[in-house]
Amino acid sequence: MDTPAGNTRYRWADDLDLLHEAALAAGEIAMSYFRKDPDVWWKNQGRSPVSAADIAANDTLKSMLLKARPNYGWLSEETDDDPARLSCETLFVIDPIDGTRAFIAGSDLWCVSAAVVHRGRPVAGVLFAPALKEVFAATEGGPALKNGNPVRVAAPDGVQPLRLAAAADMVSRLDTAALGAVERIPHVPSLAYRLAMVAEGRIDGTLVKTNSQDWDLAAADLILANAGGGLVDLDGRPLTYNRPDVRHGVLCAAGSAWLGRLISAAGGLDGH
């Protein structure tokens, strides 16, 4: 078994340092391609782009992380899935560029997402948005940090509407009686960064369409939880990572004061 020896909280903090170092290196590699018209290919029957920057950043992360933790498993959007990960208690869950479409278009809203998952839940996570010079980080039981400073979800003030990042067709189907007024936030192309926005209180919540995948979510899930929020399915259950199928259904994310009401309002979105 690959359970870390000794004090696990100390070990996760050590893993966070490793994730931070690797994410910064991968972000620097990605920036060397940014706004320079990198080669782009299409995968998933032409539905998802992947650029030369994604591959280069993935190679950097895989080399640095597995060299330091050869007993950890590996799951990345840009690496062929290895079923051996399912026998690993601990593994890296990686998206070298979350928001590839934004990256290709020259938008700043993309990030490197890197997490350590242990027994199905994230225990260390880093999001690095190089073009914005922002680093979000968290370990199990610790604070959520942005550039080294603690962040918290926003608390409802009873006056302002719920600031919700979600597709227009999802917002139109919400039971607004459970929520009150809703202000729809314009599209944020990186799902991981959108969850970080909830964690630091820039928005109140988000809805996630079906088919998000482990690498989109794991690092941001932990950061949001440590900031006082939650990412759950429509039954209010936290996500389990490193399953045979890494895809998820419709999800809700918000600060704890909003989350139950958002779940209730989103009940009709099941199967969306």
The tens digit of pLDDT for each residue in 48-72 reads 899 999 999 999 999 999 999 999 9
Regarding beta strands 90-98 and 73-76, do their DSSP bridges make them parallel or antiparallel, or are they unpaired?
parallel
pLDDT value at position 5? 46
Q: Average pLDDT, whole number, for the chain?
A: 94
The answer, yes or no, to whether residue 9 has pLDDT greater than 80, is no
**Three-state helix/strand/coil letters over the chain:** CCCCCCCHHHHHHHHHHHHHHHHHHHHHHHHCCCCCCCCEEEECCCCEEEEHHHHHHHHHHHHHHHHHCCCCEEEECCCCCCHHHHHCCEEEEEEEEECHHHHHHCCCCCEEEEEEEECCEEEEEEEEEHHHCEEEEEECCCCCEECCEECCCCCCCCCCCEEEECCHHHHCCCCHHHCCCEEEECCCCCHHHHHHHHHCCCCCEEEECCCEEHHHHHHHHHHHHHCCEEEEECCCCECCCCCCCCEECCEEEEEHHHHHHHHHHCHHHCCC
More confident residue, 95 or 44: 95
What domains can you pick out in the chain, each with its CATH number? 8-150 (3.30.540.10), 162-269 (3.40.190.80)
C-alpha distances out from residue 150 to 19, 135, 147, 196, 228, Å: 18, 12, 9, 12, 11
116 strand-pairing partners: 92, 124
Nearest CA among 152, 149, 106, 130 for reference residue 28: 130
CA torsion, ordered 192, 199, 128, 30, to nearest 10 deg: 30
Predicted local distance difference test score (pLDDT) of residue 90 = 98
* 182 has a pLDDT exceeding 50: yes
pLDDT at 180: 84
The pLDDT of residue 3 is above 70? no
Residue 177 and residue 220 in contact, taking contact as beta carbons nearer than 8 Å? no
Q: pLDDT by residue (tens digit) across 13-54?
A: 999 999 999 999 999 999 999 999 999 999 876 678 999 999
Q: Which of 108-112, 249-253, 263-267 has the lowest mean pLDDT?
A: 263-267
For the stretch 221-248, pLDDT in tens is: 999 999 999 999 999 999 999 999 999 9
- Tell me the C-alpha distance between 106 and 103, whole Å: 5
pLDDT value at residue 1: 36
Chain-centroid distance of CA 34 in Å reads 21
Greatest extent of the chain over all pairs of C-alpha atoms, in Å = 52
pLDDT band, residue 271 (cuts 50/70/90)? low
Q: Of 140, 95, 142, give the one whose Cα is nearest residue 119.
A: 140
- State pLDDT tens for residues 191-206: 999 999 999 999 999 9
Report pLDDT for 7. Answer: 67
pTM: 0.95
Residue 8: pLDDT band (50, 70, 90) is confident
The pLDDT of residue 160 is 87
